[in-house]
Amino acid sequence: MATAKLSEILRQKDPALKEAVEQLARGDVHGGIASLDQQGRVHEIVNPQERLNSIAHEYSRRPEERWSYRPITNRAAN
């Protein structure tokens, strides 16, 4: 069976965001998350109920972007 590999990131147009995505794609999770955090794209909400409320609010606020939300939670802590 033939396979294909995506080698170029096309969706991200912002150079800083594209670099963070490239870091993540290379497996540099620490560097990628740090880059996203420096850009103000990481938001930690410690309280579980507030976190769920925020995720629900953002999800419903922009229906055209729903597929792009990737909430990260620590299930072990909840």
Place of tokens 């109920």: 49
Residue 65 confidence (pLDDT): 64
pLDDT in tens, 9-47: 877 889 999 999 999 999 999 999 999 999 999 989 999
Contact 7, 31 (CB under 8 A): no
pTM > 0.85: yes or no: no
Q: CA geometry: angle at 78 spanning 65 and 67, to 5°?
A: 10
